[in-house]
Structure 1
Amino acid sequence: MPNSEEEKNASSAIEDNAAGAEKPADAQAAETGAAPQAEAELAASETEVGAAADEEETEADPLDDLNAKLEEAMAQLEDYRDQALRAEAEMQNVRRRAERDVANAHKFGLEKFLGNLVPVVDSLEKAIEAAEQAGKADDPIVEGVQLCLKLLLDLLEKENVKVLDPVGEPFDPQFHEAMSMIENPDVEPNSVVLVVQKGYVLNERLVRPAMVMVAKGESPSIDEKA
């Protein structure tokens, strides 16, 4: 009997030890199973955060695209505006040139006609001069020629034609052409002594220079022509 009781006690101790040994194993197993679960939850959270960030980026993309298109449209608008300003400036330049050409055509349209007309004036003046030298200034025909010459000169004056008859004036190479130089102590050197042929100016543009003779001076500024 004593042996049997000791065996029971020993068997009970072994069972208790086995039970005590099983409990840590279960706890360890529980801990081991909890770690993958936590990692899975962390990965899921990171995935959600990444998805939210991607969603935010996706939502921002249309705005960036609109801003880019707006900048492109503004650049094109500025380019078109610059082209329009250039075209307007060019049109203004063309209009100014056309107006200037029309004004010049009107202003100097008589130049060629005047060049053909002044020899007629020369002939009338020479005819009157010859009649006066012959003592026939009172002749009705001569008076008629004088009247025609006056009407013609009045008409030229209305068309802004100026007659160059520079007797006694300083020689001006822009409007005068020296035929020769002569001695004349009664006038200033380099002044016009005699007009051989009158000159004409149309709207300040020289049509024909006056052919003149010039008084000699110490330092003449013109070349003598034979």
Structure 2
Amino acid sequence: MAASASLTSTFSFSSSRAANHLSLQPFIFPRNLILRKSFSSFPVSKAYRIFDGYKNERRSFFKSFVSAQQENQPQQTSNEDGSGPDDVQVPESAEDEKLPSSLMSLMQVYKEAILDGKEETIYEVEDMIFMLEKEKNELTQKVSTLSEEISSGKEKYVRLQADFDNYRKRSEKERLTVRSDAQGEVIESLLPMVDSFERAKQQIKLETEEEKKIDASYQGIYKQFVEIMRSLRVAAVPAVGKPFDPSIHEAIAREESQEFKEGIIIQEFRRGFHLGDRLLRPAMVKVSSGPGKKKPSTVPEQSSEQPASVAGVDNR
């Protein structure tokens, strides 16, 4: 039997192309689904008889479609392959060429079953279509659920990636801070050595050649120490001649000055240092309070016989 033989083959078809070809809304074939051989012997369940009314309506519609196709086709004579005019022919068109061969075979089987009145074959095909539609709906629901899960997973991934980037930046900043703090503590512990070298340079008076050799020796060591400090980005705080800045200077005295304006540092007692942007210790300085107020010189009218000291002349 041609119908039974066709049902035992494997079918995979596309819903959009089949619907466009048949122009039948009730026949919606799911995409990329396969009719397995086990469906060919699928028993007709009593539960499916509930859909007899719907099936009869589809069958009547399909019969009218097949009849219309046969009326529009010219009468054909017997060909060399033995096919006669009673054989059902599938219309050949550009749309037919796009349809998969499995769908064409299924349509051919269904047409032959309707025209020959083979109820069992018709029920088997309709049951397979019903099962596939049900499976399609289940798969569509699964796809929708998976799509939502994928969308939610993408959002979680983006948030997790942002949190990880923030954690990485924060960890790098903390690492640099810890390194700077440790480096600053070590350098700060070496600053008294710098003060000792500076005081020795100011207080020692070289008189003999032996003393000059000793001074040149420790000055070389001090110079090497200063180069190491510079390589670690340690720099002295500018002081004399600069405006007083309470964030980097520590004022321990104020003094009138005719040379410097008010607020200008006129003397440095202890050098200050900073490591990069971090202040290790402020510089101890003396700040100018500006030029002092001059006392007005008043010379009262006195007789020329009085001495200058009595007249109150300030010679300063």
What's 2:263 paired with? Answer: 190
Percent identity, please: 24
Q: Which consecutive unaligned segments of at least 5 residues does structure 1 have?
A: 1-46, 219-226
Question: What secondary structure, in the 3-state scheme, does the structure 2 residue paired with 1:168 have?
Answer: coil
- Mark the CA change 1:111 to 1:192 in structure 2 (over 3 Å): closer, same or farther: same
Q: Residue 155 of structure 2 corresponds to which residue in structure 1? A: 82
Residues 194-203 or 81-90, more deviating: 81-90
Two-structure CA RMSD over aligned residues (Å)? 3.0
- Whether contact under 8 Å (1:194, 1:212) holds in the other structure is yes
Residue 183 of structure 1, CA deviation = 0.6
**Aligned equivalents of 2:260, 2:253: Cα separation in 1:** 15
Indicate the structure with greater helix content: 1
Does residue 212 in structure 1 map to residue 216 in structure 2? no
Counterparts of residues 101-120 of structure 1 (less than 5 Å): 101-120=174-193
Matched residue SS, 1:66: helix
| Structure 2: stretches of 5+ with no match in the other structure | 1-50, 58-125, 292-316
Compute the displacement of 1:161 (Å): 0.3
Q: 1:125 to 1:137 in 2, by over 3 A?
A: farther
**Residue from 148, 156, 162 that aligns with 2:235:** 162
- Once the two structures are superposed, what CA deviation does each residue of 1:151-188 show, in whole Å capped at 9, x if it has no partner? 21111111110012411111112211111211112112
Task: Work out which of the two has the higher radius of gyration on C-alpha atoms and give 1 or 2.
Answer: 1
Give 2:171's match in structure 1, choosing from 90, 95, 98.
98
Equivalent residue for 1:203, pick from 276, 279, 292: 276
* Deviation, structure 1 residue 102: 3.5
Distance 1:130 1:152 in 2: 20
Number of positions where the alignment pairs a residue of Structure 1 with one of Structure 2: 170
Equivalent residues in 2 for 1:6-155, closer than 5 Å: 48-49=52-53, 60-132=133-205, 136=207, 139=211, 140-155=213-228
CA contact (8 A) 1:111 1:202 kept: yes
| 2:170 partner amino acid | R
Counterpart contact for 1:176–1:212, Cα < 8 Å: yes
Cα 1:76/1:136, change in 2 over 3 Å:
farther
Conservation of the 8 A alpha-carbon contact between 2:243 and 2:263: yes
